[in-house]
Amino acid sequence: MKRYILRAEGGFTLIELLVVIAIIGILAAIAVPQFATYRRRSFDADVKSNIRNASTAIEAYFVEKQTYDSNITDLVNKGYKRSPNVTVEVSGAATTFLITGLAIAGCGSGGSWNIDTNTGLMTGAPCS
């Protein structure tokens, strides 16, 4: 009588594969909203960083000229570099300035921040 040698077959069952796919789906459902939140916060941080840097440059201009300037090229000469996805507008007068920054790419709505010398605070609407 011949003895049949049983070999262990390698592989996964259908149930095991379905469980793995379900786990991956649950992890993706958690990760995607978190990714969107991190992305919105990064756009806000980019705008805030740009207007802080512009504020430093306009203060450096003020120390040298004793007036604030609304010309962005003068700020570039003082070391300001704008990020490619941010628009910055500067309104300067003799003793006050207002810097407004706006995220131009990737931010659905909001993403606009201001620094005003009258209050000294940064205010705005975060990306949403």
Residues in contact with 99: Cβ distance below 8 Å, sequence separation at least 6, in sequence order: 51, 54, 55, 58, 88, 89, 90, 91, 114, 115
pTM of the model: 0.73
What the block records as the tokens of 112 is 């606009």
- Say if CB 96 and CB 77 are below 8 A apart: no
Each residue's pLDDT, cut to its tens digit, for the chain (128 residues) gives 566 666 666 788 999 999 999 999 999 999 988 988 898 899 899 999 999 999 889 988 899 989 888 888 888 888 888 888 888 888 888 888 899 999 887 777 778 899 988 888 888 888 88
> What are the boundaries of each domain within the chain?
14-125
- Say if CB 58 and CB 99 are below 8 A apart: yes
- Say if CB 68 and CB 93 are below 8 A apart: yes
